[in-house]
Structure 1
């Protein structure tokens, strides 16, 4: 549903699109929450160590969603 809302709000032409990393990770967080998983927020030290922004996206640019 979040992807549909994003497509509607961005007024894109009919076609096939790749979800943004941010939207894909938000969908994953919500899905895991519904499954009962408890995710914690990454610390500044952890984010710096693995070289990603603390709030994401967490996958490298070459990763295809």
Structure 2
């Protein structure tokens, strides 16, 4: 539940502070915000989301995003 609530709060903050990026309509939560929530929660579980070795293997930046833009959750 806390992941869901955190996503909602970050989405609301983004909508409020960056209205020019979100015209009237339905939008998918930007991956950057979704991964920010994941990092915050996994950190409390002592889980490392990405290491340099994983990053090199997957050919993605350590800081993300980890999924291509076409990926939908």
Higher relative contact order (CA 8 A, sep 6+): 1
- TM-score if structure 2 supplies the norm length? 0.67
* Aligned residues: CA RMSD: 2.0
> Where has structure 1 moved over 3 Å in runs of 4 or more?
none
Whether contact under 8 Å (2:39, 2:49) holds in the other structure is: no
Higher helix share: 2
Whether contact under 8 Å (2:42, 2:49) holds in the other structure is: no
For structure 2, the residue ranges without an aligned partner over 5 or more in a row are 1-8
Aligned residues: 63
1:15 Cα shift?
1.7
- TM-score if structure 1 supplies the norm length? 0.73
For structure 1, the residue ranges without an aligned partner over 5 or more in a row are none
